[in-house]
Structure 1
Amino acid sequence: MRMNRHTGLALLFIGFGAMILASRMGLHIGHHVMSFLFPAALVGLGFVGMKNGRTFIGAALILIGGGVLLGKMSGVFAILIAVGLICYGFSLLRGKSAC
């Protein structure tokens, strides 16, 4: 197989397609990955729409996709805030930067 600039994108599409088919057949291999893929695709399509002059539709897609991604990533944000609070608490106790 010759590697060119489309090989990586093709392999990515094949992988996502396989995960979609597996989830439709009852195998939930990539369920969490696929739940992030659709909102990320909306954001990406919004950027493409804005680049092509469709600012209203592009902005709407970015807002919808970004809102869904923000909701899905709230657990990650909570963990990051907790780690930040712990580091800040240790730095207050020690009197210097802990993290």
Structure 2
Amino acid sequence: MRLNRNSGLALALIAFGVMILLSKMGLHMGHIMSYLFPVALIGLGYLGLRNDRTIIGLILIAIGSLVLIVKLSGVIAIIVAIGLIVYGISSLKRKSRAY
């Protein structure tokens, strides 16, 4: 079997399919699958854009991005909270120097 660009994509799709089947049969891969599927949608959307399938590519990228943002919302909330704390502390330090 000779490997080229298309066979690499085929092997990746087979691997994703096997992981989905294993997950559905109860052999969970942890939280990897819940993040892998939206990333795969974004990747397939990008491939659609590169192959002049603009509408389907944009739809897949939009759906994958929304799902990934929802999955990462806890991490995003923590980052925003840390940013607010740092901004508040720096704001207090600036006001104390003025007096």
TM, length-normalised to structure 1: 0.70
Q: Which amino acid aligns with 2:82?
A: V
**Higher relative contact order, chain-length normalized (CA < 8 Å, sep 6+):** 2
After TM superposition, which residue ranges in structure 1, 4 or more long, deviate above 4 angstroms?
15-22
Aligned residues: 85
Deviations 1:28-68 (Å, cap 9, x if unpaired)?
3x321110000100000000000010000100100111110
Q: Percent identity?
A: 58
Q: 1:31 to 1:60 in 2, by over 3 A?
A: same
How far apart in 1 are the matches of 2:21 and 2:62?
A: 28
Q: 1:56 to 1:24 in 2, by over 3 A?
A: closer
Q: 1:57 to 1:17 in 2, by over 3 A?
A: closer
| Unaligned 5+ runs, structure 2 | 1-7
Q: CA deviation at 1:94?
A: 1.6
| Unaligned 5+ runs, structure 1 | 1-8
Q: CA deviation at 1:90?
A: 1.1
More helix by share: 2
- Where in structure 2 are the equivalents of 1:46-85 lying within 5 Å? 46-85=45-84
How far apart in 2 are the matches of 1:16 and 1:46?
A: 16
Q: CA deviation at 1:77?
A: 0.5
How far apart in 1 are the matches of 2:17 and 2:54?
A: 30
Q: CA deviation at 1:26?
A: 3.3
TM, length-normalised to structure 2: 0.70
- RMSD over aligned CA atoms reads 2.7
Q: Which amino acid aligns with 1:80?
A: I
- Where in structure 2 are the equivalents of 1:14-25 lying within 5 Å? 20=20, 23-24=23-24
Query: Residue 4 of structure 1 corresponds to which residue in structure 2?
Result: none
How far apart in 2 are the matches of 1:27 and 1:37?
A: 16
Q: Which amino acid aligns with 2:93?
A: R
Q: Which amino acid aligns with 1:50?
A: L
